[in-house]
Structures are given as structure tokens and as C-alpha cells.
């Protein structure tokens, strides 16, 4: 269980990091499924793009609400006048250890990916269910002539036909294209996605945490 945020600036605009700082509040007060402990305190990450490649502004297996490195990541983004999309994630661990390698977003080549949900019956030992799904998607993308939409459709269909899952809700970007997908089997209010257009661009989030 996690919280996702995507920011896509308008042409000529830069990322507004006051939004990212407000998003951090969901680490302590964000919506959780019934019966779960409050908060999304098991890690945070931010990815932007430079020269066509995803770059971590920060990524730590710590509570974003109290980790000073979160603010340092925001300051780095502000000082660079970041004009690429930004993908951010707050983790509430369900599968995989609380370590940096299991902390979203994940990157591969030009792509970055963040997921909220659990894919069950994978019997994974060295990776998370989210990493497995992302790796499968990009592997197919490289083999099918780089049709990312086709790869999304194929891999979503695979999971839906074979595995039990709570949600396949995710954000995916290569710094130019930005994709959001929402799919869940329960807890509809928790696994939703919202989007809003502002003067600076588009926001995609799983909770309404600012007034727009």
C-alpha cells in the first residue's frame, strides 16, 4: 500500500515543489485500507529526467515525514529549475524488505515506474511484485517494437488472468510520455486516481491533498 504522485509541467513551466512538500504529509496522514496501521512511512522516492534519462532526486527507505533528505531532494529540484515530469512515491511495505532497492519509483533505461498494490502468488525471493511487473513490462516493450501501450495491455491482461492482486494502479513515464493506470479488486476509494489541471501543468495523485 502506497501513495503516488505525478507532476507534468506545462511547456515552459517548472515543477512546483510546494506540491511535493504537501504530498509528503500523506506519509503520516494518508488514506490506508481498513485494518491497516496509519501512515506510509516505509520509504519515499522522487524521479525526474535529465538528458532523456530518469534521475533520482532522492530515494530512501525512511519516513518522508521525518527524513531531512526529503527536503534536500526538493531543494535540489528547485535549484535546477526542473521542467521535466516528476514521479514521486510514498511506500507502505506489503511485499519485500524495507531497503532502498525495494523503494519506488523503479527505473530502467529511460523509464520510471511506481505502483500501488500487491500481486500475490508470485513466490518472489529477490525482488518485489512491483519490480517484477515493471521488469516484465519493459522486457516485452523491448521485444515488441517499443509499443509501450501494447506492453501495458499485454502485461495487465497476464496478471488479471493468472494472479490474485489487490491493485495494479501505477504511474509510468519516460520523461516525455506519461501513463496512469488504475485497476483494483477491492478498496476502491483507496486505490483510486485523481487528476487536475493547474496553471503550471497536470497533477495525478491518489488523494486530494491540495486545493486546486
**Percent of the chain clearing pLDDT 70 (strictly above):** 97
Q: Is the model's pLDDT at 59 over the cut of 80?
A: yes
Say yes or no: domain 2-205 is CATH 3.30.470.20.
Answer: no
Beta strands in the chain (DSSP E): 2-9, 44-50, 53-60, 86-91, 106-108, 111-116, 169-173, 178-181, 194-197, 201-205
Confidence of residue 93 (pLDDT cuts 50, 70, 90): confident
Instruction: Supply the pLDDT for residue 95.
Output: 66
Q: Cα separation of 199 and 180, whole Å?
A: 21
Q: Is the model's pLDDT at 94 over the cut of 90?
A: no
pTM passes above 0.75: yes
Domain coordinates in residue numbering, the chain: 2-205
Q: How many Cα atoms sit within 13 Å of 32 on the Cβ side?
A: 18
Report the candidate in 112, 166, 132 with the shortest Cα–Cα distance to residue 1: 166
Give the pLDDT confidence of 153-189 residue by residue, as tens digits.
999 999 999 999 999 999 999 999 999 999 999 999 9
Amino acid at each position: 500500500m502506497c501513495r503516488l504522485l505525478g507532476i507534468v509541467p506545462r511547456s515552459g513551466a517548472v515543477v512546483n515543489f510546494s506540491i511535493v512538500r504537501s504530498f509528503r504529509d500523506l506519509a503520516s496522514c494518508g488514506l490506508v485500507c481498513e485494518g491497516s496501521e496509519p501512515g506510509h512511512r516505509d520509504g519515499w522516492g522522487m524521479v525526474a529526467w535529465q538528458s532523456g534519462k530518469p534521475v533520482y532526486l532522492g530515494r530512501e527507505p525512511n519516513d518522508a515525514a521525518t527524513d531531512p533528505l526529503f527536503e534536500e531532494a526538493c531543494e535540489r529540484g528547485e535549484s535546477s529549475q526542473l521542467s521535466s515530469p516528476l514521479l514521486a512515491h510514498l511506500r507502505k511495505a506489503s511485499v519485500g524488505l524495507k531497503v532502498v532497492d525495494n523503494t519506488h519509483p523503479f527505473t530502467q533505461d529511460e523509464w520510471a515506474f511506481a505502483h500501488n498494490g500487491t500481486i500475490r502468488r508470485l513466490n518472489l525471493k529477490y525482488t518485489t511484485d512491483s519490480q517484477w511487473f515493471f521488469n516484465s513490462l519493459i522486457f516485452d516493450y523491448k521485444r515488441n517494437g517499443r509499443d509501450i501501450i501494447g506492453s501495458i495491455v499485454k502485461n495487465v491482461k497476464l496478471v488479471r488472468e493468472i494472479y490474485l492482486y489487490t491493485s495494479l494502479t501505477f504511474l509510468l513515464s519516460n520523461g516525455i510520455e506519461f501513463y496512469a493506470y488504475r485497476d483494483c479488486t477491492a478498496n476502491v476509494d483507496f486505490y483510486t486516481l485523481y487528476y487536475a489541471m493547474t496553471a503550471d501543468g497536470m497533477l495525478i495523485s491518489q488523494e486530494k491533498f491540495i486545493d486546486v
